Amino acid sequence: MSTTTTTTTTAAAAPPPAAGAPGVRRRRRRSLSPGRRLPAAGLIGPLAVLALWAGASAAGRLDPGAIPAPWTVLRTAGRLWTEGTLATDVVTSLRRAAYGFAIGLTAGVVLALASGLSRVGEALIDGTVQLNRAIPTLGLIPLFILWLGIGETFKIAIIAIVVYIPVYLNTHAALSGIDSRFVELAEVQGLSRLAFVRRIVVPGALPGFFVGLRLGVTGSWLGLVVLEQINATSGLGYMMFQATNYGQSDVILVGLLIYGVFGLVSDSAVRLVERRVLSWRRTLNS
């Protein structure tokens, strides 16, 4: 045993000329990765744009009729909120989006479950939804006006359709993409059909569902904007459309700002829920 150790040490001692020779010491290679991330990296760009906008406005380099100064926009927002109809417009828009989104979400999930868990359901539902998807939903507006009139029902219906499609597609894909190895495991462990759905199918499909949910949220705002700008007599889009007629660019910017806040808040909320529900994934990503 000891002889082998000695031979290995001599073998290891053989190459020291290379290790000991001066100048062979290896320098660290230049890193090709972009390095560590800056703190609050997501905010730097927007803040720079804002500063540029404010600076140019203050220096009088921007036409206030086309791009009013940031403080003008804020003042207009305050004025519209206290004196005008901004508060009711916001509530109207939010209600449309919320109803449409809730109905679309429910429909998307229920249809995906029905189609993902039964072959009969799949035969009835999947092809129909795929067909529906092929028609751009906003192209349905004329028909829906004819059917439902130009009131709230029609707007909510269009938003619901815009939402249910991505929710359905992603949830259904996730449901039918459950790893067959896990199906086998469930059989081996003697799970009932209900337990199989609850413990394997649903949790396994959640990541896909959340992709659909986020697309649905974005879609609901998109649908809202389009509907309010062409077929409404109240709401944020209507306010902005009216402002175009009177050349009030500050009012239009107020509307855009609020749409932006809506989008940001709703997306963050979905992400928050997603992180909570899919906490088991954090260990993989971080």
Residues making contact with other proteins (CB under 8 A): 181-182, 184-191, 195, 199-200, 203-204, 206, 278, 280-281, 283-284
At its nearest, how many Å lie between other proteins and the CB of residue 240? Answer: 44
Nearer to other proteins, 49 or 195 (CB): 195
Nearer to other proteins, 245 or 285 (CB): 285
At its nearest, how many Å lie between other proteins and the CB of residue 11? Answer: 24
Tell me the one-letter amino acid at 154: F
What's the start-to-end Cα distance of the chain, in Å?
46
Nearer to other proteins, 186 or 258 (CB): 186
CA 172 to chain CA mean position, Å: 18
Nearer to other proteins, 120 or 194 (CB): 194
What is the C-alpha separation between 230 and 252, in angstroms, rounded? 15
What is the C-alpha separation between 28 and 38, in angstroms, rounded? 23
Element (H, E) at 221: helix 202-230
Nearer to other proteins, 10 or 283 (CB): 283
CA 265 to chain CA mean position, Å: 11
At its nearest, how many Å lie between other proteins and the CB of residue 281? Answer: 8
Torsion sign (Cα): 35, 38, 41, 44: negative
What is the C-alpha separation between 229 and 232, in angstroms, rounded? 7
At its nearest, how many Å lie between other proteins and the CB of residue 117? Answer: 18
Would you report the helix, strand and coil content of the chain in percent, each value rounded to 5?
Answer: 80, 0, 20
List C-alpha distances in Å: 175 to 124, 166, 269.
16, 14, 24
Written as six digits, the tokens of 57 are 């406005």
Nearer to other proteins, 143 or 195 (CB): 195
Which residue do the tokens 């209600």 mark? Answer: 95
Nearer to other proteins, 102 or 206 (CB): 206
At its nearest, how many Å lie between other proteins and the CB of residue 99? Answer: 32
Nearer to other proteins, 103 or 173 (CB): 173
Which residue do the tokens 């679309």 mark? Answer: 104
At its nearest, how many Å lie between other proteins and the CB of residue 123? Answer: 20
List C-alpha distances in Å: 52 to 16, 58, 64, 67.
61, 10, 15, 13
At its nearest, how many Å lie between other proteins and the CB of residue 58? Answer: 53
At its nearest, how many Å lie between other proteins and the CB of residue 44? Answer: 33
Which residue do the tokens 């082998």 mark? Answer: 4
